[in-house]
Structures are given as structure tokens and as C-alpha cells.
């Protein structure tokens, strides 16, 4: 199901057949550099993630979305909002913006475009009042995206021995 679209991309619910296109991203150490999880070694690991995300759609009405090129349907990565139930920086049960893209699609503005569409969907279609994001302090590219979106850095915290930044945007701040 298509959730959002822009001039160049479509954000849609994941399908299990996205796994072969997503696996190279999940197994790329450079993509995962700031994530804190080891690269996947088996396609079945990506399939398990997709199944988990699809359950999130049903249970919470939210979850990361596949991002594909509108013109060709080519899988670029994922973006979206999820309900984060685990504690992060002393917060729990918050709406978390996230995105991850195959390395060959970095630098084209897709992450910013997909993240902006995700925020619009969360605020305008789902009635959210606040959306958060956390980012490794060394991930300059992701920090630039969050700040381009109008998100404000509110706090610093340590997670897994790494300095992290906590960002927030409220519905009335989003343009």
C-alpha cells in the first residue's frame, strides 16, 4: 500500500519480496557504521526484519516504509516513523523518525525527501503532535538532514559508549 509520494519517490509498506533488494543495504558495513548493529550475512535476516515491520503496521499503525523510485520502482532504502516502545535517552513510547538508504543512492536528496514526506504523513494524516529522532553525533550527513527538516537538537546522551543527539519537531513547527 502506498503511504506517501513525492515528485521522485514513493513510500509504501514493505513486501516480503523487497528482501533481495534490501539485503545489500543490511549487509553493508558502511551503511551500518552509525547504527551499532553488525552487518547481516543471510537474506533470511532481512526477511525477518520485514516481517517484524509488517507486524508493526498492524499493531501500531506505524512502521518504516520502503522507498522506491516513482519512475522505475527501484528500491532505494527505507524511511518512516515507528512507535518506539524501548527506552531511548530516558524516553519510551515515542514516535521515531528514521531512514536508511543503499549507498549508491546517498547524496541525491532522497533521504531528506523521504523523511520530509514521513513527517508530513505523521503530522497531517496521523495527527501526531511531536516526532523525535536520535542520531550518532559523528553522523554529520544525518544531522544535516534532521536540521534541514526543521528538527531541533534538544539533548545529548550516551548510548553504547557513543555520543548521541536527541532531536524533536512539533506539528506546529513543521512546514
36: left (phi over 0), alpha (psi -120 to 50) or beta: left
pLDDT score recorded for residue 160: 87
pLDDT score recorded for residue 61: 96
In DSSP terms, which residues pair with 167 in a beta bridge? 133, 153
pLDDT-based confidence at 131, cuts 50/70/90?
Answer: very high
Percent of the chain scored above 90 by pLDDT?
98
What's the pTM? 0.96
pLDDT score recorded for residue 36: 86
**Mean pLDDT, all residues of the chain:** 97
Q: Which residue has the cell 538532514?
A: 145
Domain ranges of the chain: 2-173
pLDDT tens column, 148-158: 999 999 999 99
How far, in Å, CA of 171 to CA of 159, rounded?
27
How far, in Å, CA of 121 to CA of 127, rounded?
9
Fold (CATH) for 2-173:
Aminopeptidase (3.40.630)
pLDDT-based confidence at 175, cuts 50/70/90?
Answer: confident
pLDDT tens column, 25-83: 999 999 999 998 999 999 999 999 999 999 999 999 999 999 999 999 999 999 999 99
Amino acid at each position: 500500500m502506498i503511504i506517501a509520494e513525492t515528485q521522485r519517490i514513493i513510500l509504501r509498506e514493505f513486501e516480503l519480496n523487497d528482501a533481495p533488494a534490501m539485503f545489500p543495504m543490511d549487509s553493508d558495513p558502511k551503511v551500518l557504521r552509525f547504527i551499532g548493529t553488525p552487518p547481516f550475512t543471510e537474506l533470511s535476516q532481512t526477511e525477518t526484519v520485514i516481517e517484524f515491520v509488517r507486524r508493526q503496521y498492524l499493531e501500531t499503525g506505524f512502521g518504516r516504509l520502503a522507498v522506491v523510485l516513482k519512475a522505475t520502482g527501484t528500491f532505494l532504502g527505507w524511511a518512516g516513523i515507528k512507535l518506539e516502545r524501548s527506552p531511548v535517552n530516558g524516553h519510551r513510547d515515542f514516535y521515531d523518525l528514521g531512514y536508511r538508504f543503499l549507498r549508491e543512492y546517498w547524496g541525491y536528496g532522497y533521504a531528506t525527501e523521504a523523511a520530509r514526506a514521513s513527517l508530513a504523513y505523521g503530522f497531517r494524516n496521523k495527527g501526531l503532535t511531536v516526532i523525535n529522532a536520535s542520531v550518532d553525533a559523528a553522523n554529520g550527513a544525518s544531522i544535516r538532514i534532521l536540521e534541514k527538516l526543521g528538527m531541533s537538537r534538544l539533548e545529548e546522551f550516551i548510548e553504547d559508549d557513543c555520543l548521541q543527539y536527541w532531536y524533536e519537531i512539533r506539528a506546529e513547527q513543521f512546514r
